[in-house]
Structure formats: structure tokens, C-alpha cells
Amino acid sequence: MNTVGVARRAGRQRLLNAFLREAGIPVRQPGPLRIPLTATGRTLIVDVCHRSAFGHHEYGDRLVLEQADGRRTPLEHDGFVDALLTELAAVAGGGDGAARKVELETQIANSIARTACYVRRGRSAAPSGDAHALTRHAEQSLLRGHPFHPTPKSAEGFDDADLVRYAPELGASFVLEYFAVAARLVCERRVAPGAWLPDGLAADAPAGYALLPAHPWQARYLLALPSVAALVAAGDVVPLGPRGPEVYATSSVRTVCAPGFGMAWKLPLHVRITNFVRTNPVEHVWRATDASVVVAGLAGRWSHDGFGVLLETGFRTLDPSVVGEDLSADFAVLFREHPFSSTSAAPRVLAGLLEEGADGEPPELVCCVREVGEPSEWLRHFLDISLRPLLTLFARDGLSLEAHVQNSLLCTDGGWPACLWVRDMEGVSVSRQRLAGNGTLDSLPADSPVLYDDAEAWLRLRYHAVTNQLGHVVSVLGRYMEGGEERLWGVVREAVAGWRDAEPYATWLLSAPALPAKANLLSRFAGRGERPLYVDVANPMWEP
């Protein structure tokens, strides 16, 4: 199959799995599957090649559309996409359904074209003997993306030349550009120690100015804005051009690392990646740094070896009260701990370990598990450094980390899970009710954006840590290891039942018939990237 065919199959798999999950349509066995498109009175027929207990199904290439009168028509890829989106438009109703359909069709095509480009380059073999190279390899090997998202690789704003320069999937590395900003315009906050810029760069700033790093694409975008041109003409912002060490793009595209430097940069990028334009609004940078304050205050009480959190040490931008919130978001940079630059640890982003290779098998994760020889024991070790501490932190302090697979970094030792790091404090939610009981709430303003009602913080943790992270790990292990997915969920059930330090949430996980899942397809269709919809999915840990 050519690269376009591979990309289209990956895109259909993600679109179908999202549709089935969000419509509540079960898949009970491999073989032909009839998918009712009730709003349009038709039926889509596909072949299920692999049935997953948690919805990570795989499909053949035969696609058939059956009309209400029984007439059947074979579908090509574009016809398949049209049939599903026509159904969504009919379900959504309203006058803008047709426009939303066209918009999402365009974004799906963009994502598939990007995927084809990445698949054409291929996934390089994992390097051996170099910890930093292993870390980078995992970050830049996520060629197909989120398994339940209709546009996992869309990047609206990047042209083909930009992809070559900046896409992590193509091994991108580049030099950042810098702006010197007059001190009176600088808005910044520091909440943890650590140098923000490599040695020597600060000297490049004129007296009375502070430096702001920028993604090269974003620097070009900013300099084309009339508002920035006015600041440059007034001498308040001085473009300094490229300088400093070469950095590489991580799996999020806009967060970059410099080998050998102990800080990463979460940069604004005015490009629509998956759901929304990836800038750093004022609320987001304050949420991230408030979350870091909470985590730093609680970390000394943690008793879990093999678990850590990477703090956002602060942010710097242009004062939104002077330049406006939109321009501030386009300049704002979050500075993140990157302690592995000076160690021999090789943390690998979990999403990269789970990504399927050219033959369908995820080579990174499968290699780790085969090295130890026993999937059940490997999974128990993984649970001890992932779900258990995540549940315990919420049970004790109401801290809900956004530990989905792209925010989770796994270190292994001889194949065994040894340490899990969670990153991206902007996605943290903290239970206002239970944080108030331990005194930590006093360190936050009453209106901090990191504070949520208890029920919402718990919902977010269940989705990120269980549905997204653990569900993906178990599905991959069950697909490619002996014993199957259901047996491994039994291992999870047995482990969770023994976690007294995670009560009452451990018991809740075992006794609830459903788990929350983000409805990425419906949310994307409705333009709700920032406020996603959720649906219930069957909880594989629950025994009636």
C-alpha cells in the first residue's frame, strides 16, 4: 500500500473509532460491522480486523454504504468521510451544519496529507546507547497521532516548506529567534528556580530590555502584524533574529528542547494544531504557574518512588494590560523543567512508545515488554508508577494531573517501567474543596484558574489517567502480547483493589460501570476544542 493509502487507513481508523465511541455503538466481535447512520437513514458496513475491549479497533479497506431500501454502494475514502460527516451534520441540525461539515472535511484532508508526508519519511530505528537520542526519537516518532481524534495531524498554517523545517515527525531542529522587550512592557512570573536562557544569551539584550525566545515561524508571523511593527518602530520591541543553541521540536510541535540545557520552552505558535490555535493566553500561563506552586508545595509529602512532575518554572510575555490579551498570548513563553539534559536517564513520551510501526506492531513498547518476558508483571510495575500515584495524589490533596499519553514520560530499566514523569501544568485541575483542607489553598488567589469543583477535577483525572493513558497501554499490550486485553484488565482490577492509599477513588474505579471519554469528533464538529464534550464508555474494570 502506498503512503497515501496508509495515511487514509489510519485516518479512517481514528475517525471510525471516535464515531463508534461517541455514538455508543458496541463492537462485539471481529467481522462485518453494520453502523447505523440513523439521522440519514443509511448504514455503513465495514470489516473489523481486530476488536478491542476498549475501542481501539482496526478495520479492513472494504467500505460499503447501504441505503434504506437495501441498495449497496462500495465507497472510496472520500465517500466514507462524506457519509460520516453528513450524518453528523444531520444530527447536529441547525443552519450551519453544512458549513461545519465542509470545514471538518478540509481539516481531515489536511491531517491525512500531513500523515502521508510523515509515513513517507518513515519511522527511524530507535538509537542505542544514547539516552538523549532515545528521548528525542520517541518525541519525533508519533506519525499517526491520537487514536480517537478526527484530525490528529492537522496543522493549519504550516505549508509544505514549514513542515520540513518544523515538524517533529520529520526530525525537525532549528535555532530560536529572540526579541528584546523594553522592561516596562514585560509581564513575567517566576515560581521555581532554574535558568530560563542558555548562558551568554542574556548579554544580547540591550540595557533595560528582557529577552523573549520565539519559534521561527511565530517570529515571522509576529513581525507581519501592524501592532508589532508599531512596537518595533517605537523601539519597545527589538527583533534580534536567530541565536542560541539548536533546539528540536517535541511531539506537541511547539514545545522545544535544547540538548544539554535544563529548561524546555513551551512556545506560542499561531497554527491550528488538532483542535485550536496553540498560543499561550493569559489564563493558561497563570493556570500553569499556579499549578506549579501547588505541586511544589505538595511534592515533599509524596511517598511514591518512580513518579515525578515537571514544573513550569514561570512565564514571560508582553503586558496584556498594555498590548492586549491577544498579542500577549502570541508572545507568551512558558519555561519548563528539563532535568534529563544532565543525566543518563532516557524518558520517552508514552505516545511515541505506543505508536504502531510500519508492520502495525509498536516496536518500542513491545521491545520493552518482550525484554522482561511477562506482560502481566510489566503492567503491574507500570501501574505502581502511574495510576497508583495519580489516584493517591487526588485522594490526598485533590490534585488532578493531565497525564494523557503525550504528557507522560516513561523511563525503563532493563525493559521494566522504572519512573513516570508528568508534564504540562497548564492542564492541571485542582479540587477547590479538598485543597482547602490542607492549607495549600492559601498560596493561591481565590479566583485561580487552576481551581475546579471536585467533580470536574475527578472527571478530568479519570479521562486523562484511565481512559486515555491506561486504556491505550492495555489495548496495545493486549493486541500484541499473549493473553489478550480482557486478561490484562483483570490484572488492573486486582492491583487497584489493593490500593488502600488511593481510597475512596480506587473503589470507585472498580464499582463504576462507566468511564468518561472526550468526544473529540463531536467537539471538533461543534468547534468546542477548548470546552470539549464528554461521553460515557464501558469501564473494563467493572464487574457486574
CA 23/CA 202 separation, integer angstroms: 54
Mean pLDDT throughout 284-304? Answer: 91
Residue 83 has pLDDT above 90, yes or no: yes
* Per-residue confidence (pLDDT) for residue 482, from 0 to 100: 82
Q: 3-class SS at 193?
A: coil
* Per-residue confidence (pLDDT) for residue 393, from 0 to 100: 94
Q: What does R_g of the chain's alpha carbons equal in angstroms? A: 23
Mean pLDDT throughout 191-215? Answer: 92
Q: What angle do CA 470, 472, 474 make, to 5 degrees?
A: 65
Residue 93 has pLDDT above 70, yes or no: no
- Smallest CA-to-CA distance from 104 within 44, 154, 162, 65 is with 154
pLDDT band for position 341 (cuts 50, 70, 90): confident
Q: Are 237 and 180 in contact (CB under 8 A)?
A: yes
* Per-residue confidence (pLDDT) for residue 287, from 0 to 100: 97
pLDDT band for position 402 (cuts 50, 70, 90): very high
Residue 95 has pLDDT above 80, yes or no: no
- Smallest CA-to-CA distance from 308 within 417, 409, 451 is with 409
Q: Which helix (H) or strand (E) holds 328?
A: helix 325-331
Residue 446 has pLDDT above 90, yes or no: no
* Per-residue confidence (pLDDT) for residue 305, from 0 to 100: 85
- Residues contacting 305, CB < 8 A, separation 6+: none
Sheet holding 429-431, edge to edge: 399-400, 429-431, 451-452
pLDDT band for position 12 (cuts 50, 70, 90): very high
Sheet holding 58-66, edge to edge: 31-37, 42-50, 58-66, 72-74
Mean pLDDT throughout 72-82? Answer: 96
Residue 27 has pLDDT above 80, yes or no: yes
Percent of the chain scoring above 90 in pLDDT: 81
Residue 373 has pLDDT above 90, yes or no: no
Mean pLDDT throughout 253-279? Answer: 94
Q: In the chain, what are the domains?
A: 3-121 (3.30.310), 154-341 (no CATH), 345-511 (1.10.510.40)
Model confidence over 479-531: pLDDT tens digits?
998 889 999 999 999 999 999 999 999 999 999 999 999 999 999 888 876 78
Mean pLDDT throughout 215-223? Answer: 98
Q: Are 507 and 539 in contact (CB under 8 A)?
A: no
* Per-residue confidence (pLDDT) for residue 283, from 0 to 100: 96
Model confidence over 110-128: pLDDT tens digits?
999 999 999 999 888 888 8
- Residues contacting 219, CB < 8 A, separation 6+: 177, 179, 239
Q: What angle do CA 105, 111, 115 make, to 5 degrees?
A: 145
Q: What is the mean pLDDT of the chain?
A: 93
- Smallest CA-to-CA distance from 159 within 94, 92, 110, 119 is with 110
pLDDT band for position 165 (cuts 50, 70, 90): very high
CA–CA distance from 149 to each of 88, 354, 367 (Å)?
15, 16, 27
User: What is the bridge-based pairing of β-strands 307-309 and 416-422?
Assistant: parallel
